[in-house]
Structure 1
Amino acid sequence: MALRVTFVAAAGSSSRLNERFEDDRPLDQAGWSEVQRVAPELLPLAAADLRYCSPNPRSRATGDGLGYAPLVQLALRDCDMGRWRGLTLGEAMAREPEAVDAWLADPRATVHGGESLLDFITRVGGWLDTRPLEENFRVVAVAEPSVIRAALVYALKAPPATYWNIDVRALSRVSVTGQAGRWSLRIEGVSPQRARM
């Protein structure tokens, strides 16, 4: 018996370098346009048995815009970044370079006063492992790219440092299949996007 959980990355409009920790900005016009453009491709996922989303405004708006009417799951919230909340990586580096270096090097570090990367991965993995298990049961979850990276690291039982090497683009999707403690990655494709270099 296997469960299929499809993650859809929330829409966004800022470049990777402008991403903010625990960013709670709503979708802008560019984000809405992206959702409308890919909706025909992602709308079939609305037939999932359960539909969830992160509590982040962009995740909720993306799920609603795709017709999923998702239930908010607190376990799918972004990593608690403590005093770095709302900062870009560059801004945090300018303020506390040694602390950022320690955080990037050690997945157990909580130098920002928030959640460690390892705790974040474990929290998201715990959510994944507690989904209902029924034959051919399908779940869709709209989440921030960081949450999806954490879920993939957990599902693949990869070292926590792998988190930094996974690129999840806005409105892309990826699935994991299996059951608690036994997950497999299933590549389903990436939604067409504007060329970004």
Structure 2
Amino acid sequence: MHVRVSLVAAARSTSLLAERFDDDRPLDVDGWRAVESAARGLVPLGSAELRYCSPTSRSRATGTALGYAPMAQPALRECDMGYWRGLTLAEVAARDPAAVDLWLTDPHAAPHGGESLLAFIARIGGWLDTRPADDGGAIVAVAEPSVVRAALVYALNAPPLTYWNVDVRPLSTLTLAGRPRSWHLSLQAPV
């Protein structure tokens, strides 16, 4: 049984430098404009049989603005950053550079007291592997860029630290095709 899962990265709600761990800010004016600009290419994904989103405000707003009427999936939440929640990377690095180095180099480590990178990737992979769909079915999910990166690493069975080498821009789309524990990247030509 094969299924196609398209993951759309939520529109940005703040500048990259001001982004905070596990921040649930709503879309700002620039985010709304970006959704409006990208809608023509993304709206067709809404014809999928199943439409989901991560529980963040910006993911829900992005999916709703695209007409997906998505159902929030708790499993698609961002990595649990423990007591780093609400801080920027620069703030954490200034307070505890050794903890940041450990977090970036050891996928088993969770110096923030939350979820390790490996556990996060496994959780997102578990969500992928349990998607119900008919053979040839389609699913769309709007999620945070971190979730899209984790899904790609899981689907390609790449080493966990590959996560840090994947750049997911707001409103970019990743399409995976396959079945549980057997996923591949599906590149599609523009229509």
What TM-score results when the alignment is normalised by the length of structure 2?
A: 0.96
Q: How far off is 1:30 after superposition?
A: 0.6
Note the 1:53-72 alignment, pairs <5 A: 53-72=53-72
Amino acid at match of 1:184: H
CA distance in 2, matches of 1:38, 1:99: 38
1:1-197 mapped onto 2 (5 Å cutoff): 1-188=1-188
Q: What is the identity, as a one-letter code, of the residue corresponding to 2:140?
A: V
Rounded to whole Å, the distance in 2 between the matches of 1:31 and 1:42 is: 15
Please, which runs of 5 or more residues in structure 1 have no aligned partner? 191-197
- Between the two proteins, the alignment pairs up a number of residues equal to 190
Say which SS state the counterpart of residue 187 (structure 1) adopts.
Answer: coil
Shift of 1:37: 1.2
SS at 2:186's partner residue? strand
Instruction: Note the alpha carbon deviations across 1:70-115, whole angstroms, 9 max, x for none.
Output: 0000000000000101111111101111111111110010110100
C-alpha distance in structure 2 between counterparts of 1:107 and 1:150, whole Å: 12
Q: What is the aligned-residue RMSD (CA, Å)? A: 1.3
C-alpha displacement of 1:13: 4.6
Structure 2: 5+ residue stretches without partners: none
8 Å contact 1:172–1:189 — kept in the other structure? no
Deviations along 1:114-167, one digit per CA (max 9) or x if unpaired, are: 000000000000000000142110000000000000000000000000000000
Amino acid at match of 2:73: Q
Taking every aligned residue pair, what percent have the same amino acid on both sides?
63
8 A Cα contact 1:174 1:188, kept in partner: no
Query: Would you say the 8 A contact 2:13–2:26 is kept in 1?
Result: no
One-letter identity of the residue aligned with 1:131: R
Does the 8 Å CA contact 1:133/1:179 hold for their aligned counterparts? no
Residues 6 and 175, structure 2, Cα contact 8 Å, conserved in 1? yes
Supply the distance in 2 between the matched residues of 1:63 and 1:134 (Cα, whole angstroms).
23
Runs of 4+ in 1 over 6 A off after TM superposition: none
CA distance in 2, matches of 1:46, 1:160: 30
What per-residue deviation string (whole Å, max 9, x for no partner) do you get for residues 39-66 of structure 1?
Answer: 1211111110000000011000000000
Shift of 1:187: 2.7
